[in-house]
A and B are shown apart, each in its own frame.
Chain A
Amino acid sequence: ETGVTQSPTHLIKTRGQQVTLRCSSQSGHNTVSWYQQALGQGPQFIFQYYREEENGRGNFPPRFSGLQFPNYSSELNVNALELDDSALYLCASSEQGVYNEQFFGPGTRLTVL
């Protein structure tokens, strides 16, 4: 059974640029959630995708957007990067309705200069 994978591992961008992060969900999981974890803090929910539709969103601006593909993999896109977007971005997959038990990937470390 393959776990949740994310790419790239690390990324350095400059302010104002755009970035795309990728996530492959665990086999059998149809739901993907994205979280932002700033240094020294707990993860903050960005949004969730289920069957290719956004299924819930946290308190993040519209420049954070996403996609889910038919194979349940997902992308997180961030436009007009700001310095405060520097964080670890975590992807989690789950089966819809199963106690929301989420399985996390290793994350992508984004640094915005």
Chain B
Amino acid sequence: AQSVTQLGSHVSVSEGALVLLRCNYSSSVPPYLFWYVQYPNQGLQLLLKYTSAATLVKGINGFEAEFKKSETSFHLTKPSAHMSDAAEYFCAVDTGRRALTFGSGTRLQVQP
């Protein structure tokens, strides 16, 4: 069965610093991978998706993620954090079984 593991339930960075949120997946078939963001009391918003077209995927709000098959990773990065990036981030995997399987989430705090 497919799964994702997000390392670090809380990440704190200073405004302007690099953001790195980690996601490792487990899948016996080539996966589709997603990053979603959730702001307080809101639903999930898609940041970016990997669908095997290119290993480096660019998303909204300056975020990007790189698919590394050898490391089974799909880490999310942003060169310079902004206060508005503070939110909960979820990595998710789909292998064609109708459902997205989500990680447990990483709460990003951005310090001024």
Task: Please indicate whether A and B come from the same complex rather than being unrelated chains.
Answer: yes
Query: A104 to B49, Cβ gap below 8 A?
Result: no
Overall SS of chain A's interface: loop
Query: A90 to B46, Cβ gap below 8 A?
Result: no
| B101 within 8 Å of A (CB atoms) | yes
Query: A41 to B98, Cβ gap below 8 A?
Result: no
Interface size on A, residues (CB 8 A): 24
Interface centre among B34, B44, B46, B105 (most CB of A within 10 A): B44
Q: State which of A35, A48, A99 has its C-beta within 8 Å of the C-beta of B98.
A: A48
Query: B49 to A41, Cβ gap below 8 A?
Result: no
Query: B99 to A45, Cβ gap below 8 A?
Result: yes
- CB interface residues, A 15-29, toward B, < 8 Å: none
Residues in B whose Cβ lies below 8 Å from that of A48 = 98-99
Query: A101 to B34, Cβ gap below 8 A?
Result: yes
Residues in B whose Cβ lies below 8 Å from that of A103 = 46
Query: B43 to A42, Cβ gap below 8 A?
Result: no
Instruction: Indicate whether A42 sits within 8 Å of B102 (C-beta atoms), given known contacts A99-B32, A101-B49.
Output: yes
| B112 within 8 Å of A (CB atoms) | no
In the assembled complex, how far is the CB of residue A82 from the closest CB belonging to chain B, in whole angstroms? Answer: 22
Instruction: Indicate whether A43 sits within 8 Å of B97 (C-beta atoms), given known contacts A99-B51, A100-B32, A103-B46.
Output: no
Query: A104 to B45, Cβ gap below 8 A?
Result: yes
Query: A43 to B96, Cβ gap below 8 A?
Result: no
Write the A38-76 contact mask toward B (1 if CB under 8 angstroms, else 0).
001111110010000001101000000000000000000
Q: State which of A43, A55, A99 has its C-beta within 8 Å of the C-beta of B44.
A: A43
Docked Cα-Cα span, A88 to B102, in Å, equals: 15
27 contacts between A and B (CB under 8 A): A4-B43, A33-B98, A33-B100, A41-B104, A42-B104, A42-B105, A43-B100, A48-B98, A48-B99, A56-B97, A56-B99, A58-B99, A90-B44, A92-B44, A99-B32, A99-B49, A100-B32, A100-B94, A100-B96, A100-B98, A101-B46, A101-B49, A102-B46, A106-B41, A106-B43, A107-B42, A107-B43
